[in-house]
Amino acid sequence: MATLKCRYKQCGRSFPIGLERCPHCARPGVFSNVEEARFNTERKALTKRYKAARNAAVDRNCGDQVIRLEEELDGSQAVINRSALETARLASSDRELYSTFYQLLNAEVRLPAGKVWDRLRILADAALFPNYQERIRFAALSLDGVGLFNYGDCALVLRDSMIGHRASVFHENSILFLRRHHYKIPPGYRAVWRDRAKLGIAKLAVHIKESTLAADFPALLLRQGETSAKDQFLEVHVWGPLSIYCLDRVGISKRFASLSPALLLAVQELLDEAAVKWKILL
Ligand SMILES: [Zn+2]
């Protein structure tokens, strides 16, 4: 298993992945998902994929569109979808997200519950987050604040300033990716938060045509599937707890909702009280 090296020069000792602080000098702030994305082999492989994708787009006369997409992706945000009921509960206290997301997100955010998916999730998590599976919360990368409705009608948009230092981004739904790659992760498919545009280009540039418009970008990055297994997205991994203060805004979809008017009103009032902006998504 890979090890990390303490970043403080005076220490600089190695330690196992998954620890939140250096066990030698006790300095905190180690986020293993970010550290793993920062490994040289990962960064080099990502840069290679990114350059190849860009060059291929230039050859197809789509270089300008790809530059534009990259600029947009630089401003992309992480979105977690939850049910209206859960969102109301989370908004009702500044401790709620902290205490409940741990169980909820790990269990539900990627694929429906079920024995097969549970088993696949355990396998994927063990490969991707060795020793720190229980630390990771999942979100989807979005350009328009719209997340994956298969996980709930409320799209909780996370603040960059609260997660950027502890978030990494992955090529796609990690369960499906890991299964396809027999639980061996090829380098170049994950990125630190500030490199998420690079990862996005490496994946998405191939879909850009001369006729692609900026208005097409959000659906290129995140496409709703009939089931969550068919959702297309870049997966965001956030280390550690999330509270109401991590929310930038909330989008409420009534499209597929079993939302009663009373519940909708309750969510809106609780978000207002928590000073979190919300809007109804079309
Ligand atoms: Zn140290």
- Torsion over CA: 91, 96, 100, 106 (sign): positive
Which regions in the chain score pLDDT beneath 70?
A: 1, 96-115, 256-258
The one-letter amino acid code at 247 reads L
CA of 165 to the centre of ligand 1 (A): 19
The reported pTM is 0.92
Radius of gyration, alpha carbons of the chain: 19
Output the CA 37–ligand 1 centroid distance in Å.
20
Interval between CA 204 and ligand 1 midpoint (Å): 39
Find how far residue 114's CA is from the centre of its chain: 22
Q: How far is the CA of 14 from the centre of ligand 1 (A)?
A: 8
Q: Where are the beta strands (DSSP E) in the chain?
A: 3-5, 14-16, 77-82, 136-142, 154-158, 167-170, 190-192, 235-239, 247-253, 277-281
State in Å: Cα 35 to ligand 1 middle. 14
Q: How many CA atoms lie within 13 A of 23 on its CB side?
A: 8
Measured in Å, residue 15 CA sits from the centre of ligand 1 at: 9
Residue 1 alpha carbon to ligand 1 centre in Å:
19
Q: How far is the CA of 169 from the centre of ligand 1 (A)?
A: 26
What is residue 120's predicted lDDT score, i.e. its pLDDT? 84
* CA–CA distance, 277 with 282 (Å, rounded to integer): 16
What residues sit around ligand 1, an ion, with C-beta below 5 angstroms? 6, 11, 22, 24-25
Question: In this predicted structure, what is the pLDDT of residue 113?
Answer: 56
Per-residue pLDDT of 4-46, as tens digits, reads 999 899 999 999 999 989 999 999 888 999 999 999 999 999 9
Tally of CA atoms within 13 A in the half-sphere of 232 that contains its CB: 9
What is the side-by-side order of every strand in the sheet holding 235-239?
190-192, 167-170, 235-239, 136-142, 77-82, 154-158, 247-253, 277-281
Angle 132-135-137 from CA coordinates, rounded to 5°: 125
**Distance, CA of 165 to CA of 192 (rounded, Å):** 8
What does DSSP assign to residue 215?
A: G
Please give the distance, rounded to the nearest whole angstrom, from the Cα atom of residue 248 to the centre of ligand 1: 34
Distance from the alpha carbon of residue 11 to the mean position of ligand 1, in angstroms = 5
Ligand 1: distance of its center to the CA of 6 in Å? 4
